[in-house]
Amino acid sequence: DFFLFRLAEAYLTAAEVDARQNGGTTSATGTELINRLRMRAGATTKSSYTLDNIIDEWAREFYYEGRRRVDLIRFGLYGGNNAYKWQWKGGAKDGTTFSADLNIYAIPSNEIATNSNLKQNRGYK
pLDDT tens, residue by residue, 80-105: 999 999 999 999 999 999 999 999 99
Are 87 and 93 contacting, i.e. CB atoms less than 8 angstroms apart? yes
CA dihedral for 53, 55, 58, 64, sign (positive or negative): negative
Whether residue 125 has pLDDT greater than 90: no
Instruction: Tell me the whole-structure pTM to 2 decimals.
Output: 0.87
Looking at residue 79, its pLDDT comes to 95
Q: How far apart (Å, rounded) are the C-alpha atoms in residues 24 and 16? A: 9
Q: What distance lies between CA 61 and its chain's CA centroid?
A: 12
